[in-house]
């Protein structure tokens, strides 16, 4: 086993678990304020792709030495991820939750991009396997993620237009 690769995967795993707890808390708070969930039917698919990606990395990458250049790119993506979460604050969830009459967020990365969270996630899904020397895993999960994001973004855009 490569200690740095294990540490990277452990940090990403713990981070994702923390995000699930945060998202659940924010979701409950938003729903209590009268928000509604949209597109819930595809959520298990998103969860499965992300969980499958992480499990695959744990199974295939713990003995591989990380590539420093790709690790730097991944670290920048983590900073972008935190920027997105901080910008949305209590409105950040892993689901499509719309609070009626709440204005769209147009601060932080949302000033520059539509759906910056999805851009970051797409980058992470591609880059972390490259950090760990697994380009085929990067390709396969990037394609799966693109398919899921196509469904997700359509559902989110419909929900936000209402």
Domain positions in the chain are 3-161
- The reported pTM is 0.94
**Cβ-proximal residues to 36 (8 Å cutoff; 6+ apart), any chain:** 97, 98, 100
Q: What is the structure's pLDDT at 162?
A: 74
**Is CATH 1.10.760.10 what the domain over 3-161 is classified as, yes or no?**
no
Mean pLDDT of the chain: 97
Angstrom distance (rounded) from CA 39 to CA 41? 5
Q: Which residue has the tokens 């009268």?
A: 34
Confidence band (pLDDT; 50, 70, 90) for 157? very high
- For 112, phi then psi, to 5°, come to -105, -25
Tell me: the pLDDT tens digits for 109-148?
Answer: 999 999 999 999 999 999 999 999 999 999 999 999 999 9
DSSP 38: E
d(CA 76, CA 108): 15
């Amino acid at each position: 086993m490569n200690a740095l690769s294990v540490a990277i995967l452990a940090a990403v795993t713990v981070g994702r678990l923390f995000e699930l707890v945060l998202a659940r808390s924010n979701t409950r708070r938003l729903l209590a304020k009268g928000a509604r969930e949209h597109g819930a039917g595809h959520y298990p698919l998103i969860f499965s792709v992300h969980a499958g990606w992480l499990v695959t990395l744990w199974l295939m990458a713990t003995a591989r030495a990380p590539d420093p250049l790709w690790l730097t790119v991944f670290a920048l993506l983590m900073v972008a991820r935190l920027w997105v979460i901080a910008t949305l604050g209590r409105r950040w969830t892993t689901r499509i939750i719309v609070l009626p009459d709440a204005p769209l967020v147009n601060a932080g990365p949302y000033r520059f991009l539509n759906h910056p969270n999805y851009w970051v996630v797409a980058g992470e899904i591609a880059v972390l396997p490259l950090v760990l020397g697994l380009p085929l895993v990067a390709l396969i999960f990037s394609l799966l993620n693109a398919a899921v994001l196509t469904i997700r973004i359509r559902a989110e855009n419909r929900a936000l237009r209402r």
